[in-house]
C-alpha cells in the first residue's frame, strides 16, 4: 500500500486522534444491535495502546444534521468499546471546546476518551476549517481507521488530516489491500455478484465491473429494470423507468466486449409485497400480471452456483431477493453459501450483504467483508477517496 500506516510512525507518548466508524445499528431496547464496526477497529486501537499512546476517538452515529439528538449520543458505544478493550473509555459530552481540550490534554499513555457524536456539530459535514482546527488541537497524530467514511470530505476525515501528521489504521489498510486486489491483477476467472433493489445505485459500478470481471451475476430488484429494457413483462416488480436509457447504454456498450452478464432464468414471485403473500416459482419470462419478483428461483440458484464454483476471485454486493423474509431468502442464502464454499478469494461489501452473511452464519468463510458500503462502491468505480488521498505517502 502506498500510504503510511500506524506501523510507519512513532506513537509512544503521543495523543492519537483516531477517526473510527462506529455508526452501528441501535436496538429498540437502547442497546447496540450489531457491534461489528466496533470490533473491526479493535486491532488498531489495541496496537496504539500497546505502543504507549493515549487515544482520542471520534465517530459519527446516524444523521443528526448538525443538531443534538439524545438517542444518537455515543454513551452506549463507549460502554461497549470499554467492554471490548477491557479498559475504561471516558465518553465526553461535547465534540470540541475548552472542557474537551482540557480532558484530552490530561490523558496519560493507555487512557482513552471518546468524543460526542461528530455530526452533532454542523462543521463536520461542511468540513469547516475552524471546526477541523479545533479537532486537530486534541491530538499530536491523526489515524484514519474509518474506511466507511473515507468517501466523505468531512472535517474529521479530511480537514484534520490536513492539519496533523496523518496515517492509515490497520482496518483502513486491510480494506484498501482487499479492494485494491480486485482491480489490480485479480486471479481469474473473476465473478462479480451484484444485487439489491435499485439499479440506479449500481450503474457506475456495473459499468466498471463489466471492464474488470469475466462474469457479472445479477439478482435482486435491480434486474427488473434490465428485463423491462429487454422487452420482458415484469408484472408489478420494482422498476426504475427513469433509468431505462442508461441501462440500454450499459447493455449495448458491452455487446462488443466485456464481461458476460447472467440474469435470472426463473423467479419466486408473489401477489403482494408482504412476508405472507401467496408465492410461486415461474420462468423469468412468465411473471403474471399483478405479481412481483421477490427472489431468484431454484434454476437460477443452480446456474449461479455453478458459475461461482469455477471462480478464482469473487466480489459480492447486494442480496438476490427480500432475504429479510424467510420465504424469500433462499436465493440469497444459496448464493452466499456458494460463494463461501468456492475456494476463491471472496470479498463482500454493503450493509444488506453483511446482514445476509450474518443471518446465514457465514462471517468466518469470506476472505474479507468490507465495512464500507458507499466507500467500497466508489473505490471500485475508480473514484479517488478524499479520506485516503489526504493521508501521508510512504
Q: Kindly list the catalytic residues.
A: 37, 198, 351, 374
Residue with cell 496519560: 108
Q: 244-253 vs 203-212: helix axis angle to the nearest 10? A: 0
Contact 375, 147 (CB under 8 A): yes
Query: With contact defined as beta carbons under 8 Å apart, do 314 and 347 qualify?
Result: yes
Strand order in the sheet with 260-262: 260-262, 215-218, 190-194, 313-317, 345-348, 368-369
Closest CA to 207 of 221, 224, 194, 190: 194
C-alpha cell at 196: 439489491
Residue 56 host element (H or E)? strand 54-58
Beta-strand relationship, 292-296 and 266-270: antiparallel
Q: What is the DSSP string of 121-147?
A: STTTTTT-HHHHHHHHTT-SEEEE--G
**β strands within 177-258, DSSP E:** 190-194, 215-218
Distance, CA of 196 to CA of 59 (rounded, Å): 27
Residues 6+ apart with CB under 8 A from 329: 295, 321, 322, 323, 359
Burial string for 41-62 (b: 16+ CB within 10 Å, else e) reads: bebbbebbbebebbbbbbbbbe
Amino acid at each position: 500500500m502506498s500510504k503510511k500506516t500506524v506501523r510507519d510512525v512513532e506513537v509512544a507518548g503521543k495523543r492519537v486522534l483516531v477517526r473510527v466508524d462506529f455508526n452501528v445499528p441501535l436496538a429498540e431496547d437502547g442497546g447496540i444491535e450489531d457491534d461489528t464496526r466496533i470490533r473491526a477497529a479493535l486491532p488498531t486501537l489495541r496496537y496504539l495502546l500497546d505502543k504507549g499512546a493515549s487515544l482520542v476517538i471520534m465517530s459519527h452515529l446516524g444523521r443528526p444534521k448538525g443538531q443534538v439528538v439524545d438517542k444518537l449520543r455515543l454513551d452506549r458505544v463507549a460502554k461497549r468499546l470499554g467492554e471490548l478493550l477491557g479498559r475504561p473509555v471516558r465518553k465526553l459530552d461535547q465534540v470540541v471546546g475548552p472542557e474537551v481540550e482540557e480532558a484530552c490534554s490530561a490523558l496519560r499513555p493507555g487512557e482513552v476518551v471518546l468524543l460526542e457524536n461528530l455530526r452533532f456539530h454542523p462543521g463536520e459535514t461542511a468540513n469547516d476549517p475552524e471546526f477541523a482546527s479545533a479537532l486537530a488541537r486534541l491530538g499530536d497524530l491523526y489515524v484514519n481507521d474509518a474506511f466507511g467514511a473515507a468517501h466523505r470530505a468531512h472535517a474529521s476525515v479530511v480537514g484534520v488530516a490536513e492539519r496533523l501528521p496523518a496515517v492509515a489504521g490497520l482496518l483502513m489498510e486491510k480494506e484498501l489491500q482487499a479492494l485494491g486486489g480486485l482491480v489490480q491483477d485479480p486471479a481469474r476467472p473473476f465473478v462479480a455478484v451484484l444485487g439489491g433493489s435499485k439499479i440506479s445505485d449500481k450503474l457506475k459500478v456495473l459499468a466498471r465491473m463489466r471492464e474488470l470481471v469475466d462474469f457479472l451475476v445479477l439478482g435482486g430488484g435491480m434486474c427488473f429494470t434490465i428485463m423491462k429494457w429487454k422487452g420482458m413483462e415484469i408484472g408489478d416488480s420494482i422498476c426504475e423507468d427513469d433509468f431505462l436509457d442508461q441501462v440500454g447504454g450499459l447493455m449495448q456498450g458491452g455487446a462488443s466486449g466485456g464481461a458476460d452478464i447472467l440474469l435470472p432464468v426463473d423467479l419466486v414471485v408473489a401477489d403482494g409485497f408482504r412476508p405472507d403473500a401467496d408465492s410461486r416459482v415461474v420462468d423469468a419470462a412468465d411473471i403474471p400480471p399483478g405479481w412481483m419478483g421477490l427472489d431468484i428461483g431454484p434454476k437460477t440458484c443452480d446456474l449461479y452456483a455453478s458459475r461461482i464454483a469455477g471462480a478464482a476471485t469473487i466480489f459480492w454486493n447486494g442480496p438476490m431477493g427480500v432475504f429479510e423474509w424467510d420465504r424469500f431468502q433462499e436465493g440469497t442464502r444459496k448464493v452466499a453459501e456458494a460463494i463461501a464454499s468456492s475456494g476463491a478469494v471472496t470479498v463482500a461489501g454493503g450493509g444488506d450483504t453483511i446482514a445476509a452473511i450474518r443471518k446465514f452464519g457465514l462471517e468466518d468463510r469470506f476472505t474479507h467483508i468490507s465495512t464500507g458500503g458507499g466507500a467500497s462502491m466508489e473505490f471500485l468505480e475508480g473514484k479517488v477517496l478524499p479520506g485516503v488521498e489526504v493521508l501521508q505517502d510512504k
